[in-house]
């Protein structure tokens, strides 16, 4: 299920009687940090109108804020705010900007009132001009690095990692001849995950961490190079997919053309959860089709956790493809179990205390006609806290389902992620505290089956991948000043 509900009490300051609202996306689902998108047009014609297309295609990677920075004749302008791409990058904003080079960002954020300031791109003024940066990922040495830099006198405006990277690049640029060189010198200081676009007034650079945790790919549209977190954004602007940026690689596009500043190196450890949940099914990441990986997960589930049932359904949106895989492998027919309402806004006033499932039911309504009286296999991508899963199963049973056999297209979450996935504290992870049968009982399922950790590699063929959140085994050592290192 792609975005679920959160019930929260918005205690407006200065009021004794808080208004209870329902926010239509929430903590019972994992969150990616961002999506990035950039264009360099050799034509010098205005490519700003393409930015909302590319960023809207990446909107599933972050819905809290977005922004673009644009360069026209070496002058940089930018616009960012909290809200969806369609709310922020309105026709008026797009008409007010012009440029032959641009980078953009969509962001998921936990911060409240200061969201606007933490939005990206980060645009910095330094000795050599203006540096704009968009970043997807998380620095595992971010806290330590910030500490060191602040000890050396650095002052920051945001609490994010991206400003650290910008600072390092600016620092190096003082001592070397080009921004390409500066990026090359700066990146060894940072550890963790980063898929990065850097725009100086005349150059566009792309870089990916040596593990290649987060995706980043390159496309071409007429005389323009296009970079995007996922290939679906290339489709959205009509660009042709060229290739993925290699782990550890740095690329520069300048007046002189396309150049590999630093060759890819190191062993890729792609985040397996990109395939299971984050990415769009129509994207191909590092050569692996997302929808194929999901269908494969469903097939594996069918083999690992067979059950006698009448119908396989998927929890929209990300459970659907795995459900179809389960159906194909098991021979149990696939059917639509829910109707998803795509018009649901961000916040509703909660009608009353009793209506605890209203928000979920507004977002996904069970198809009584299809499921009533049936023994169901229900496939979802993952279980975090378990509360949403419990609501979903309760709705299905209320709608007449005879049995609900829950199948989860991922292993249980047990460990934190240091590379950009916003996993709750361990105390909130249901699988940390409970046995699988306890979870089954709590969510109200008749049976429950998770994908086997040892079969995960089948999703991505022979590729290496990071499975730290399931296994606790990370591909790199984690040094995090705020004590969350293990």
Which amino acids are annotated catalytic? 34
Q: Nearest approach, Cβ of 129 to a copy of itself (angstroms)?
A: 10
Residues numbered 306 to 335 that lie near a copy of itself (CB under 8 A) are 320-321, 324, 328, 333-335
- E strand or H helix that includes residue 127: none
Maximum Cα interatomic distance, the chain, rounded to a whole number of Å: 72
Member of 260, 339, 432, 441 binding a copy of itself (CB under 8 A): 339
Member of 304, 365, 447, 471 binding a copy of itself (CB under 8 A): 365
Nearest to 283 by CA among 65, 448, 58: 58
Q: Nearest approach, Cβ of 397 to a copy of itself (angstroms)?
A: 15
Applying CB under 8 A, the site for a copy of itself has a residue count of 104
The residue among 88 and 466 lying less far from a copy of itself, judged by its C-beta, is 88
DSSP 49: T
Q: How many Å apart are CA 165 and CA 199, to the nearest integer?
A: 13
Residue 94 within binding range of a copy of itself, rule CB under 8 A: yes
Residue 80 vs residues 133, 161, 261, 330: alpha-carbon distances, Å: 13, 18, 29, 48
The residue among 452 and 458 lying less far from a copy of itself, judged by its C-beta, is 458
Q: How many Å apart are CA 107 and CA 62, to the nearest integer?
A: 4
Site string for a copy of itself, 228-247 (x = CB under 8 A): ----x--xxxx---------
- E strand or H helix that includes residue 339: strand 338-340
Member of 113, 331, 373, 483 binding a copy of itself (CB under 8 A): 113
Q: Please state whether the peptide bond connecting residue 430 to the residue before it is cis, i.e. omega within 30 degrees of 0.
A: no
Nearest to 384 by CA among 2, 7, 27: 27
Site string for a copy of itself, 388-427 (x = CB under 8 A): ----------------------------------------
Q: Please state whether the peptide bond connecting residue 212 to the residue before it is cis, i.e. omega within 30 degrees of 0.
A: no
Residue 287 within binding range of a copy of itself, rule CB under 8 A: no
Q: Nearest approach, Cβ of 454 to a copy of itself (angstroms)?
A: 25
The residue among 30 and 291 lying less far from a copy of itself, judged by its C-beta, is 291
* 373 contact partners, CB below 8 Å, separation of at least 6: 400, 402
Residues numbered 24 to 83 that lie near a copy of itself (CB under 8 A) are 46-47, 49-50, 52-53, 56-57, 59-60, 63, 77-79
Residue 280 within binding range of a copy of itself, rule CB under 8 A: yes
Nearest to 25 by CA among 406, 422, 394, 322: 422
């Amino acid at each position: 299920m792609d975005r679920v509900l959160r019930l929260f009490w918005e205690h407006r300051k200065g009021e004794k009687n808080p208004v209870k609202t329902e926010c239509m996306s929430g903590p019972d689902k994992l969150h990616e940090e961002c999506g990035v998108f950039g264009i360099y047009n050799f034509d010098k014609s205005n490519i700003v109108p393409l930015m909302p297309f590319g960023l809207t295609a990446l909107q599933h990677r972050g819905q809290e804020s977005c922004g673009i920075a644009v360069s026209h004749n070496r002058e940089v302008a930018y616009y960012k705010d909290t809200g969806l791409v369609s709310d922020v990058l309105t026709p008026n904003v797009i008409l007010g900007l012009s440029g032959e080079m641009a980078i953009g960002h969509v962001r998921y954020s936990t911060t409240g009132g200061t969201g606007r300031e933490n939005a990206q791109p980060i645009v910095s003024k330094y000795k050599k001009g203006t540096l704009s940066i968009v970043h997807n990922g998380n620095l595992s040495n971010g806290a330590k690095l910030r500490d060191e830099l602040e000890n050396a006198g650095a002052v920051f405006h945001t609490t994010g990692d991206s400003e650290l990277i910008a600072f390092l690049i600016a620092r190096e640029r003082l001592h070397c001849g080009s921004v390409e060189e500066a990026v090359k010198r700066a990146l060894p200081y940072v550890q963790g995950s980063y898929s990065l676009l850097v725009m100086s007034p005349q150059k566009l650079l792309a870089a990916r961490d040596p593990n290649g945790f987060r995706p980043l790919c390159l496309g071409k549209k007429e005389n323009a190079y296009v970079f995007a977190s996922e290939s679906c954004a290339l489709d959205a602007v009509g660009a042709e997919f060229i290739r993925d940026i290699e782990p550890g690689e740095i690329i520069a596009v300048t007046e002189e053309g396309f150049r590999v500043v630093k060759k890819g190196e190191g062993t890729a450890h792609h985040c397996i959860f990109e395939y299971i949940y984050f990415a769009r099914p129509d994207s191909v990441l590092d050569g692996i089709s997302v929808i194929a990986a999901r269908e494969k997960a469903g097939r594996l589930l069918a083999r690992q956790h067979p059950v006698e049932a009448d119908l396989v359904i998927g929890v929209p949106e990300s459970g659907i493809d795995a459900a179809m895989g389960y159906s194909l492998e098991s021979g149990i027919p696939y059917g639509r179990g829910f109707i998803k309402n795509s018009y649901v806004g961000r916040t509703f006033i909660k009608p009353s205390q009793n209506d605890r499932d209203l928000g979920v039911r507004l977002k996904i309504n069970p198809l009584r006609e299809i499921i009533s009286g049936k023994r169901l296999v229900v496939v979802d991508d993952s279980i975090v806290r378990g509360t949403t899963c419990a609501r979903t199963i309760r709705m299905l049973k209320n709608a007449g389902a005879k049995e609900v056999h829950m199948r989860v297209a991922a292993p249980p979450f047990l460990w934190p992620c240091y590379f950009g996935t916003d996993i709750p504290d361990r105390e909130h992870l249901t699988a940390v505290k409970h046995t699988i049968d306890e979870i089954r009982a709590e969510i109200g399922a008749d049976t429950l089956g998770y994908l086997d950790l040892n079969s995960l590699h089948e999703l991505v063929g022979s590729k290496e991948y990071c499975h730290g959140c399931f296994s606790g085994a990370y591909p790199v050592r984690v040094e995090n000043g705020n004590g969350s290192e293990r």
